[in-house]
Amino acid sequence: MDFFLEFPELGRHTLAAMRKAIDTSFIHFSREYGAALEAFFYPLLQFMIWFEKLLLSTPWPIILLIIGGLAWFGSRSVKITVGSVIAMALIGIFGMWEDTMATLAIVSVATLLCVVIGIPIGIVMARFERAQSVITPILDVMQTIPSFVYLIPVVMLLGIGKVPGLLAVCIYAIPPIVRLTNLGIRLVDRDVLEAADAFGASPRQKLFSVQVPLALPNIFAGVNQTIMMALSMVVIASMIGVRGLGVPVLKAISNQYLSLGLMNGLAIVALAIIFDRVSQTYGQRLQAYRKGFGDE
């Protein structure tokens, strides 16, 4: 009867030995290759440092101007442009300018990295069934595993700092862009593809003249989601040494500073809204050809 009440688990010693074996071998691994990995990521680190410095050393009016310009270029909407500039100005007035620039730096670099890596992966997935069946479960794991769990090996390998923070953000933020690139390409009208074939398009020409352009609205929705997810990782990333709006939030949690937490939290929300509106309206403008007369 006991057999059914207690789960027949492996013995305590066996489990402990197992865990220890895995841990020590990973520690060995990280000792062995940690330095090499760091060297590998060194250019990335330099780039991040350079970009953050650039944002911080540029006079604030110019940054405001650039943000307004980007918002206008993306959305072509006065409301969104003015709203973005006002939100950024408020952030500055309430003393969060520097942290915001740091956050902007990591989110931009992370998004860039996700786009550069994620879109090609999505294209490969759309092209080969096998790639899709292998990569989809990996993406599922990346999206559902609690971030703290993969922070452990990342920190063990690379220690604390910008690069591990960036990796953690990317692991969390890359799945949507991969998925939506894959989906977007698969949803391209078969008739149009057949027409491209009939005019002698090579697979490569088909990819760049038909599949990617027609998948762009979906790819763009992926970029939008990736940005949002990168922003939502800001607080967790600050736990492993990434500067930015996450740091004061962490301090506020441990010291119960309500207003500090709220203000920095709201700044993150403001950034999220700006990114979201601008990238969404830009995505919609990409599809203008789908509409009739009178639209741009």
Partner 1 sequence: MSEAKIEIKNLYKVFGDHPSKVIELVQDGISKTDLLEKHGHILGLKDISLKIPNREIQVIMGLSGSGKSTLIRHINRLIEPTAGEIWIDNEDVTAMSQAALRDLRRFKTSMVFQKFALLPHRTVIENVAYGLSMQGVPEAEAHKRAMHWIERVELNGFENNYPGQLSGGMQQRVGLARALATDAEILLMDEAFSALDPLIRTGMQNILLGLQEELHKTIVFITHDLDEALRLGDNIAILRDGEMVQDGSPQDIVMRPADDYVSEFIKDINRGRVIKVGSLADPAASASDGAPIIVADTALETALSTLVAAPGQSCRITKKDGSDLGTLTLERAVAALHAPAG
Question: Applying CB under 8 A, which residues contact partner 1?
Answer: 189, 191-192, 194-202, 205, 209-210, 213-214, 289-293
- Rounded least distance, CB 296 to partner 1, Å: 11
CB of 140 or CB of 194, closer to partner 1: 194
Quick one: angle between helices 147-158 and 12-57, nearest 10?
Answer: 80
CB 99 within 8 A of CB 244: yes
Q: Hey, what are 288's tokens?
A: 């203008």
Give burial (CB, 10 Å; 0-12/13-18/19+) of 190: exposed
Q: Rounded to whole angstroms, how far apart are CA atoms 171 and 177?
A: 12
CB of 136 or CB of 209, closer to partner 1: 209
With H, G, I as helix, E, B as strand and everything else as coil, classify residue 190: helix
Angle, CA of 267, 272 and 278, to the nearest 5°: 125
- Rounded least distance, CB 70 to partner 1, Å: 24
- Rounded least distance, CB 190 to partner 1, Å: 9
CB of 211 or CB of 264, closer to partner 1: 211
CB of 205 or CB of 255, closer to partner 1: 205
- Rounded least distance, CB 269 to partner 1, Å: 34
Nearest in space to 155 (alpha carbons), one of 255, 270, 239, 47: 239
- Rounded least distance, CB 213 to partner 1, Å: 5
CB 221 within 8 A of CB 178: no
CB of 222 or CB of 261, closer to partner 1: 222
CA atoms within 13 A of residue 48's CA, in its CB half-sphere: 26
- Rounded least distance, CB 207 to partner 1, Å: 14
Q: How far is CA 227 from CA 65, 72, 109, 159, in A?
A: 21, 18, 10, 25
CB of 79 or CB of 190, closer to partner 1: 190
